[in-house]
């Protein structure tokens, strides 16, 4: 074989290798983009769930405070009733 033929085959081989490498890189980039899109979707779902949990927690705190106020009122009424009963029976 002549040197020119060897150089041409070498160039063709390098071009094929470069083309295959570029195709692999494109496939990997597309796969990475797909994974990033999935990750973004999952993170958005987690954010929504976190917001929902925060709203539920705020409602629970509000309800707990209301129950505490009612309990305090009941205790105060009970204490006043004892005082009235105590004065009444002396």
- pLDDT of 81 strictly over 90: no
How many structural domains are present in the chain? 1
| pLDDT of amino acid 37 | 98
Looking at the predicted structure, is the pLDDT value of residue 19 above 80?
yes
**For the residues of 39-84, what is the DSSP string, one character each?**
HHHHHHHHHHHHHHHHHHHHHHHHHHHHHHHHHHHHHHHHHHHHHH
Tokens 């033929």 correspond to what residue?
5
Report how far residue 66's alpha carbon sits from residue 73's, in angstroms, rounded to the nearest whole number: 11
pLDDT at 31 over 90: yes
Distance CA 14, CA 7 (A): 10
- Domain boundaries, position 20: 1-90
């Amino acid at each position: 074989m002549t040197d020119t033929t060897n150089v041409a085959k070498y160039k063709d081989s390098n071009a094929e290798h470069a083309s295959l490498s570029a195709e692999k890189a494109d496939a990997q980039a597309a796969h990475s983009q797909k994974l990033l899109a999935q990750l973004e979707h999952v993170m958005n779902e987690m954010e929504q769930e976190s917001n929902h949990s925060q709203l539920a927690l705020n409602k629970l705190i509000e309800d707990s405070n209301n129950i505490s106020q009612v309990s305090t009122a009941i205790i105060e009424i009970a204490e006043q009733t004892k005082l009235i009963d105590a004065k009444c029976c002396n």
